Structure 1
Amino acid sequence: MCGRFVDPNLQSMGLDTSWLKIDPFKNWDRRYNVKPTQDMIILTPDLEPMVARWRLIPSWHKGELRDWKATTFNARIEEAASKPSFRSVWNKGRCLLPLSGYYEWKGEKGNKQPYFIQSAGNEENLFVAGLASKWNETLTCTMLTRAANNTVSDIHHRMPVILNTSEREAWLQGENDIDLGASIKLKHHQVRKFGIRDEGEEIIEAKD
């Protein structure tokens, strides 16, 4: 499960950055403690940047926003195609979620240690497989997860589906291989414990 992440460095997207001239992204304040239900940047299949609320609400939900209680900010890639909350957008709601890293916690309940997890390569930003759903007038999204590979399994048994360059295109074009993201190389370090409202670059600094 991934429940917190750091915004991407918009100057290092590895893509055509001409879209940064388009509001509201050129003045986007980078955040280091993004939580479910907050807005995030997503990339559509044609790499158009949009803003979506991080916690997918399926289009068929008839209640109020506050009535949706399911923890749909993550979706297991092994199950999403058949899950009622996700199956309607499995083929038509593909997107990428750019981020520069994410957090996981390890240890006993009440004394868990946070870790910051990021790319082990030269590319600063990570691109995660996602699904987007339009509910009423609100665009919402979820982050796909998979079984952790050996670069992060000592921290948590799950990880986001982080795609390499060829996998990004394949995902957006409809690839259904649940092994996507298996080869990504990550690194991690301990960070100081932080609260839900804490913010700033110091959050990702290595713990002394």
Structure 2
Amino acid sequence: MCGRYANTKSGEELGRYFEADEVDEVRLPPSWNIAPTQRIHVVVDTVPKDLAGSGGGAPVTRRVTTARWSLVPRFAKELTSRYPTFNARSETAAEKPTFRSAVVRSRALVPADGYYEWLTVGKTKTPYFVTDPLEGELAFAGLYSWWRPPVAEGEEPEPWVLTATILTRAAAGPAARIHDRIPVMLPRAEWDSWLDPTIAGDHALVQHAVAASQPVIERLTVHEVAPLRGDGPELVAPLNPL
């Protein structure tokens, strides 16, 4: 699973890296300790509403924006859930009611410098930081959903809230020695097909993303870090390399 990660790049920097057409003006400070329900950067591709579902040829706009990290489906009555939704299992996302609609047409990338995972031995949990030494940037496969509270008769509707989750898969490569789950991390060649809202996503598309993540996962590097307290660059400083 992925329950903490770092992203220190601005929206403008991410816009250049992901070759976005638009970057929202909402600014997030750099963070080395991003937690579920916080605002995060996401990359999405969209088409005009009147052309959604029209298939190939529709104009696609790539956008860097922000979302609340923990996906809330439109049918939910509350923003908070008793079940964690900051991660979605790739094996079941296409069939679970919470994530099923997002798999079809609301897929995202979640940028990260790296992420944390904890090695558990008995009652001792040791944190490690995981990065890509080749790209220096990770692109987690994600899903998103727009949500707002139900509107009572005679009341004004509240603004829509963009929410997002990160897909996970069975661990492989160096990080498998720490935990049995790992985020799905897409190489550059897979970004367009994953984000394309004119492609109706299904279980096969998710599994293709899982398979495509393998080369990234195999080259990851892992190092031990100090316990996560506060927020700053010292959190990712290596202690004892694994």
TM-score norm. by structure 2 comes to: 0.77
Structure 2 spans left out of the alignment, 5+ residues = 46-60, 149-159
Cα distance, 1:56 vs. partner? 0.5
Letter in 1 for 2:225: V
Give the structure with higher Rg (CA). 2
The answer (yes or no) to whether the contact 1:4–1:102 under 8 Å persists in 2 is yes
Q: How far apart, CA to CA, are the structure 1 residues paired with 2:188 and 2:89?
A: 21
Cα distance, 1:9 vs. partner? 2.5
Which of 84, 101, 104 aligns to 1:88? It is 101
* 1:77 maps to 2:90: yes
Structure 1 pair 111/193, CA: closer, same or farther in 2 (3 Å)?
same
Cα distance, 1:157 vs. partner? 1.2
* 1:166 maps to 2:189: yes
Q: How far apart, CA to CA, are the structure 2 residues paired with 1:109 and 1:167?
A: 39
Q: How far apart, CA to CA, are the structure 2 residues paired with 1:124 and 1:19?
A: 23
Cα distance, 1:151 vs. partner? 2.5
* 1:55 maps to 2:51: no
- Written as runs of structure 1 = structure 2, the 5 A alignment for 1:19-168 is 19=22, 22-25=24-27, 28-45=28-45, 46-62=61-77, 64-66=78-80, 68-108=81-121, 110-121=123-134, 123-136=135-148, 137-168=160-191
Per-residue CA distance 1:110-156 (angstroms, 9 max, x = gap): 421100000021x1211111000011111100000111122311111
Of Structure 1 and Structure 2, which has the larger fraction of its residues in helix? 2
Cα distance, 1:194 vs. partner? 2.2
Q: How far apart, CA to CA, are the structure 2 residues paired with 1:112 and 1:120?
A: 25
Cα distance, 1:35 vs. partner? 0.3
The answer (yes or no) to whether the contact 2:26–2:65 under 8 Å persists in 1 is no
182-191 or 32-41, which deviates more = 182-191
Q: How far apart, CA to CA, are the structure 2 residues paired with 1:114 and 1:82?
A: 32
Aligned to 1:5: 5
Instruction: Report how many aligned residue pairs link the two structures.
Output: 200
Please report the RMSD computed on the Cα atoms of aligned residues, expressed in angstroms.
Answer: 1.9
